[in-house]
Structure 1
Amino acid sequence: MEDGIGFGPALKKLRLARGLSQQSLVNVATREHLSRLERGVSSPNLTLVCDIARELDVHPMSLLALAFAKEVSDPSLRELFATILTDLKLQAPLD
């Protein structure tokens, strides 16, 4: 992924930071599927992203932000969030 580290590495980083094994996430996906996700062989749908984030005890946007960040640093994340805020301001209100 050119725009960041990718979903798989982000998932693995958060999972390991929480001291969890792939097996500990079998409530949302098989260990084999999690392995494919982490290796970038498979891509998750939005429901799975939300389910995995819940199991990791993070907001789904945190998982996605890490996937799209170029690195886990304050400047990289600030740049990403500035882009997101600009994109959202261009849209009509959600209400």
Structure 2
Amino acid sequence: MKSTEYITVTQLCTQYKVTSQWFHKLHDTGLIHITTVEEQPCVSLQAIHQVDKIMRLHQELHVNAEGIDIILNLLEKIDTLQLEMNSLKSRLNIYDTEQ
């Protein structure tokens, strides 16, 4: 694996002004996945959007890791329900246009 596909936890700590323990707690909670690359704990660049969302919840709303987990699960559930609702609306529109 290339190290350019990852950002170190140290860099994230500097960027977000938090300790490395915070990121390890996020990892323990299952919110992010920390991988060791060249003997340094790192997070995939693909997960940066998720990390940014987590950090905004933590820093702007003062939500702890457990609360963030609940919020993200609820947001995912809302997205799923919206997709299902749109699908059902489309199916109903077929019957509505036949009349």
Comparing both structures, which one devotes a greater share of its residues to helix? 2
TM-score with structure 2 setting the length: 0.31
TM-score with structure 1 setting the length: 0.31
Which of 1 and 2 has higher RCO (CA within 8 Å, sep 6+)?
A: 1
Larger Rg: 2
Comparing both structures, which one devotes a greater share of its residues to strand? 2
